[in-house]
Structure 1
Amino acid sequence: MILIAFTSGTLAPAWDLSELPDAALHNSKIETAIDFFLNSRSTFAIIDKGRSAEERSCIWVEKGHFYGMGYITSDVAITEPSQIKDFVTPYVSNQYIMQLIDSYAKKYPRKVFFNRNGWIE
């Protein structure tokens, strides 16, 4: 409940702090919400043709943000998704680039090779 108090000739809100939740409980709920939000975002790679037959292009998206892009030589076997980071150059993510990546991934789903549930063949 907010009460209005007249202080020093001006109106100022006076907060009834008895109605606030316990700080530890509130912080726990906020941390749970943040964890859910961060973990529900997609992590995946888009693998496509490279500049030559000996390489493949790669775009890495981590937790819903563009991480980077680069090239992987065809003789490299990726066994863990985290290995992809070794082959990409990090770039700054923004909403426009993510819109382009999401559109491409929806248009060419066979080029999307990883999501948080595992490799997609």
Structure 2
Amino acid sequence: MTVLGWSGYLSDASSGERLGSIGDLYGYGDLDARALTGDVEQETWGGYPTMFTGSAAAFASWIEALEERNFHQRLVSAEQSDEHPGGVRIAPPYEAKQMATDALRSLDPERSIRVDLWDQS
């Protein structure tokens, strides 16, 4: 089976409160290695989703280390106009990365969060 990409979602590790999305990724870089060094904890090693827990700061560092080419473009809200008649636009990969970084940096750095990665195979 070939994995085409990953969809990433954030939630509070204790309460399960949904904290948003990190978008779609072509690969998730060194997150497995970060789990082996103890920066984050890998909750599942098989099955769906692949889950990691750790501090918001640890995940922000991970996202910042990913290259822009790891991010898919994504749809975002836009003011309805002739250019965006449906009220959405396409954010390119560099902007998708910035959105994911901003989402993680907006959290308390010590907050324990869970990242769920769903494969798109």
Specify the TM-score bucket, using the shorter chain as the normaliser: under 0.3
Higher helix share: 1
Per the normalisation by structure 2, the TM-score is 0.26
**Higher radius of gyration, 1 or 2:** 1
